[in-house]
Structure 1
Amino acid sequence: MAIYIHQLKNWPHLQWNEQEFISLLSEVRHLQGKLMGKVEMLGFELKDEANLENLIQDVLQTSAIEGEILNPELVRSSIATRLGLEYFGLEQSDRHVEGIVELMLDATQNDNKIVSEERLFGWHAALFPTGRSGMYKIEVANWRLGPMQVVSGGMGREKIHYEAPKAENVKYEMKQFIDWYNNEQNLEPLLKAAVAHLWFITVHPFDDGNGRIARAITDMQLSKADGVNQRFYSMSTEINRQKKNYYTILEQTQKGDLNITAWIIWFLECLKNTMLSSSIIVDKVVKKHQFWAKNSGLINNERQYKILAKLMDHFEGNLTTSKWAKMAKTSPDTALRDITDLVSKGILIKANSGGRSTHYILKDLT
């Protein structure tokens, strides 16, 4: 029978050997400072856009880790609306999208970086507005009342990867975590994010949604470490990319002793990769800004503006005349006139020689 770290005598007094990751931590701190400096040069409007792009990725990716695929346009619309940013796209809402967006914005976009029972319950209620996880009714906005196991494999071949603390201990466990999170002032902020993530996910206090809430707490602490109430990198994107390794290191750590050095090294490597790749999003925001600055005066109508904006944001497939007509809710003839006008102005170009497969791409973003 496995022994888990929360069953050890000195839990939750986690330990680590800082000498094993001090150079890595310094490297991540340097990348953090470099990224914040780069963002600071963007100006107010572009910082808002970079924040929006990273929040979209955070919401999409933290959900994808749990196997839930959200509509990127609905996520963009929800976040842009809540941040007061202009967006031409889908206007309908989805309560599951609204819930995770509400959670992530509350965790990262305001000055209140305190964890409380009430706040965590509010996040949980936002994630499960129907009181169900899939087909199953769950305890919402309350600590779980039953056992919690992380299991894989089909019926009769189940493998238990982890078993969380007993339900009757969860309230006490969470009181310890909340007190530590709110009162620990001496721990290096990036290390605190790593410890908070592991600690919360180890307690596993809810029937469902523990991973998403753990990552929200991580983002809250990282935004505190950055010194800004905006997100310019998405940790969840890198975790999703390394999902198999993520679950492996969690299992190894939760079945180990109280020395969590290996987890911290994995977390910092993940954060390093996140910050390195974040420059891609920042560069994309700058490129979009340059595109609009160059071409906005050449655009004749809102249809053209709307479709061009879509081409730069999670556009799926190829842009054809028929797809333009469908998205702009107009006739094929009008769609062709819109496209022909943009081609004549050098904004769009044909991607091939013609025929039924003719489609168009943005010239400045090729």
Structure 2
Amino acid sequence: MKNPPALKGRTYPVFDLLAQAPHKARLADYLALLKPLDDRGRYLPFAELRYRWAPGLDAHLCWALVKKARAAQFVRLLSLGEPAQLANFVLTPTAQKAICVVDRHATTAALEYMAKQIGEHAHLSYLLADLIEDEAISSSQLEGAATTTPVAKDMLRRQRLPRTPDERMVIGNYKMMSFAWEKRHEPLSVELIAAMHRVGVEEIDDEQYSPGIFRFNDEVVVQDGEGNTVHTPPPAEGLSVRLQALATWINQLQHDPDQAGYLHPLIQAIALHFAVGYEHPFRDGNGRVARALFYWVMFKHDYSGFRYITISTLLRNAPVKYGRSYLNSEADGLDLTYFIDFQCSIIARAVSGFTGAFMEASLLARAG
């Protein structure tokens, strides 16, 4: 992945350079780039944009113009890492669409309305029992569990004991999702994050896990499929303090929706998902905890439809894009727009799949 060039922040002399030769002769071409999105409405990283600029333009200057336009629309999120770095994002059309879809179809009120449309409790119970297991299974498969979906569903429904480490991972994820629902009325805390991890991995017999215990050294890194280190988390020293600051940020947003820094719960949830993955507080199981905390935020804000909406099924089908959205945000000075935009595209599709399943169940109920 080609990292964006360093621009020395606000001191980069964008307009001074545009007034000089040879850039002055291409002024119209340069100024056309002074916008956060490309011509197709996409929020692309430098590695992709550099191939779309007109031949002969200076790549550093083009990127500086894009960054200037984005910075003008930045919404402040939170500080991450050590030393602390401010994370921002731009509210893209993709994010706005996902917010609209979630508000229309994933609230408790929307779920109750759709249930009335089905009308028959038997059909509804069958549908929800099928959907509520999907996130635990697909999240496990995203982390490498080899268990097939039919076998995993059979295990959960029959409540049989797991036979393999992969099946134990599925059971752990199922318990963690149930835990997120049960604890939805509690404030976020360091203890709750640790407890969620403990619930998720305590029955996995593997020395790489330390249930509920934060990492105490800097040996943990994130690697790609070829063994290359793609992310080095912030130092273990001060980890609990940083997690407490993260919890305080989430709790303040939830307790005071009228404050100037209000964020829609969907953006809060995605930002928390990113932050836990960025901090990587545990030796293993960080992705599962991060996704479970996304659901916890949505449950807390009365989006109970997310009990039956699985995002990991779609993430499992696009693991490279999922990982790249993390890396693009980190490489571009914690511009979380890349991660938020990708997650919103996944969530909008997941909600559409959920409503489609309800419509199908409604048709079956009427036909029966």
**TM score, norm. by length of structure 2:** 0.64
Q: What residue is the counterpart of 1:267 in the other structure?
A: 343
Give distance in 2, aligned partners of 1:114 and 1:79: 29
Task: Name the Cα RMSD after superposition.
Answer: 3.2
- The match for 1:92 is 160
Distance, in Å, in 1 between the alignment partners of 2:184 and 2:224 is 39
Residue 243 of structure 1 pairs with residue 243 of structure 2: no
Confirm whether residue 126 of structure 1 aligns to residue 193 of structure 2: no
CA apart distance, 1:174: 1.0
Structure 1 unaligned runs (5+)? 81-89, 295-366
2:222 to 150, 159, 163: 150
Distance 1:215 1:113, change over 3 A: farther
Q: CA deviation at 1:197?
A: 0.7
2:283 is aligned to: 207
Distance 2:92 2:143 in 1: 34
Q: Which runs of 5+ in 2 are unaligned?
A: 5-78, 163-167, 255-261
2:97 to 21, 24, 45: 24
Aligned pair in 2 of structure 1 residues 282, 29: CA closer, same or farther (>3 Å)?
closer
Structure 1 position 285, deviation (Å): 4.3
TM superposition shift of 1:231: 1.6
Confirm whether residue 52 of structure 1 aligns to residue 129 of structure 2.
yes
User: 1:240 Cα deviation (Å)?
Assistant: 1.3
Q: Match for 1:145: what amino acid?
A: F
Distance 1:72 1:241, change over 3 A: closer
Q: 1:45 to 1:113 in 2, by over 3 A?
A: farther
Say if 1:111 and 1:229, in contact at 8 Å, map to a contact too: no
Would the alpha carbon gap of residues 22 and 159 (structure 1) be closer, same or farther in structure 2, given more than 3 Å must change? closer
- With 24-33 and 243-252 compared, the bigger mean Cα shift is at 24-33
SS in 2 for 1:262: helix
Q: Distance in 2 between matches of 1:16 and 1:263?
A: 9
- Partners of 2:249 and 2:288 lie apart in 1 by 20
Map of 1:181-196 to 2, 5 A cutoff? 181-185=250-254, 186-196=262-272
Contact 2:81 2:242 in 1 (8 A): no
Q: Secondary structure at the match of 2:237?
A: helix
1:322 match: none
Preserved CA contact (<8 Å) 2:176 2:292:
yes
Q: TM-score, normalised by structure 1?
A: 0.65
Q: Give SS of 2:335's match.
A: coil
Mapped pair 1:172 → 2:244: no
- Identity, in percent, stands at 17
Deviation (angstroms), 1:237: 1.4
Q: CA offset at residue 30 of structure 1? A: 5.5
Residue 198 of structure 1 aligns to a residue whose secondary structure is helix
Name the CA distance, whole Å, in 1 between partners of 2:272 and 2:251: 11
Partner Cα separation in structure 2 for residue 33 and residue 171 of structure 1: 33
- Point out the structure with max Rg over C-alpha: 1
Hey, what does 2:27 align to over in structure 1? none
The more displaced of 251-260 and 110-119 is 110-119
Alpha-carbon spacing, 1:286–1:126, altered in 2? closer, same or farther (3 Å): same
Partner Cα separation in structure 2 for residue 143 and residue 175 of structure 1: 13
Is the 8 Å Cα contact of residues 49 and 285 (structure 1) preserved in structure 2? no
SS in 1 for 2:283: coil
Structure 1 position 114 matched with structure 2 position 187: yes
1:130–1:230 Cα change, 3 Å: closer
| Number of corresponding residues | 275
**Which residue identity does 2:284 align to in structure 1?**
D
Instruction: Verify the 8 A CA contact 2:145 2:169 in the aligned structure 1.
Output: no
Match of 1:221 in 2: 297
User: Within 2, Cα distance between the matches of 1:26 and 1:165?
Assistant: 31
Contact kept in structure 2, 1:74 and 1:93, CA below 8 Å: no
The separation in 2 between residues aligned to 1:100 and 1:78, in whole angstroms, is 13
CA drift at 1:263: 1.9
Letter paired with 1:122: A
Q: CA deviation at 1:262?
A: 2.2
CA distance in 2, matches of 1:183, 1:264: 21
Contact 2:172 2:203 in 1 (8 A): no
CA distance in 2, matches of 1:209, 1:115: 19
Distance across 2 between alignment mates of 1:221 and 1:48 = 25
CA shift, 1:96, in A, is 4.0
Which residue of structure 2 aligns with residue 329 of structure 1? none
What amino acid sits opposite 1:252 in the alignment? N
Q: 1:134-160: per-residue Cα shift (whole Å, max 9, x none)? A: xx3443211012222111355xxx421
Opposite residue 161 of structure 2, the aligned amino acid is S
